């Protein structure tokens, strides 16, 4: 964020408009003055710059975020109503943030269908509404009833819009050593017991003759059928079946 030039704009020389200047320019814009519109845009680029700082941790290109933020700014200018008793920045900030968030969602490496995303944002909106009105957290069941969807769909939609995180990301720090998320994820596949079993199977395979070893390898490690093995090595399926049973019997005796 220490860049002076973003998307071809020298941010150190951005103008800053006073509230009075903004009001005068906005009135001209509503009358179709394009020069006033351009001046108003340039005078609010600092606002865009301050907003994209919030997204600095997303790892996105700042030039891209700045340009997307400018699109949100222009939409805010075009839709701003002078009759409403609000400051332009109060109206523009949510528009700019919304435009950036849409960009980040649409460019996420993990694609989530629009219907699922829309449901998730309806759920979030309803939760916020209930909290503001009743000062309590809404339950999944009442949200489901209000939106006429299943509880499972609500949970799935909320999970779907969660941003992926790196397994290398620190979960917490203990003294000076970071404990990463990866350190707290259990591995049910590569356990010590399984590791020991694999060693035992490997040792048992060494005691089989070459044909038995080849058949066991093709059948149980390569996933071939007995017919496929028989055709490949040029013997009958019955012979493959007999050799397989013999080899398994040898392995079982070694295990005992």
pTM exceeds 0.95: no
> What residues have CB less than 8 Å from 250, skipping those under 6 apart?
204, 207, 208, 212
Give the integer Cα–Cα distance in Å for 86 and 162. Answer: 33
> Which two structure tokens, joined as six digits, stand for 31?
């009358």
Q: What percent of the chain has pLDDT over 70?
A: 77
| More confident position, 158 or 33 | 33
Per-residue pLDDT band for 74 (boundaries 50, 70, 90) equals very high
- For the chain, which domains are there? 5-106 (1.20.120.1810), 108-185 (1.10.10.10), 192-255 (1.10.10.10)
pLDDT digits (tens, 9 = 90+) for 76-108: 999 888 888 888 888 888 889 888 888 887 776
Higher pLDDT, 201 or 65: 65
Range 187-206 average pLDDT? 61
pLDDT at 17 over 60: yes
Whether the CB-CB separation of 215 and 229 falls below 8 Å is answered with yes
């Amino acid at each position: 964020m220490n860049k002076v030039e973003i998307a071809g704009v020298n941010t150190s020389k951005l103008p800053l408009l006073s509230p009075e200047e903004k009001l005068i320019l906005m009135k001209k814009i509503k009358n179709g003055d394009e020069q006033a519109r351009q001046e108003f845009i340039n005078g609010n680029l600092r606002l865009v710059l301050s907003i994209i700082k919030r997204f600095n941790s997303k790892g996105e290109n700042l030039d891209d975020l700045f340009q997307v933020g400018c699109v949100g700014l222009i939409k805010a200018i075009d839709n701003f109503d002078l009759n409403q008793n609000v400051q332009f920045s109060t109206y523009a900030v949510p528009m700019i943030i919304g435009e950036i968030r849409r960009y980040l969602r649409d460019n996420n490496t993990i694609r989530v269908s629009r219907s699922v995303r829309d449901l998730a944002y309806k759920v979030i909106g309803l939760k916020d509404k209930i909290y503001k009105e009743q000062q309590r957290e809404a339950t999944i069941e009442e949200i489901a009833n209000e939106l006429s969807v299943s509880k499972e769909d609500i949970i799935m939609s909320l999970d779907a819009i969660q941003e992926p995180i790196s397994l290398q990301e620190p979960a917490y720090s203990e003294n000076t050593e970071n404990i990463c998320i990866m350190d707290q994820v259990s591995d049910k596949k590569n356990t010590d017991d399984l590791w020991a079993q694999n060693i035992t199977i490997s040792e048992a395979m060494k005691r089989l003759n070459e044909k038995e070893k080849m058949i066991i390898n093709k059948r149980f490690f390569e996933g071939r059928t007995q017919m496929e093995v028989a055709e490949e090595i040029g013997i009958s399926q019955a012979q493959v079946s007999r050799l397989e049973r013999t080899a398994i019997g040898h392995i079982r005796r070694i295990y005992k």
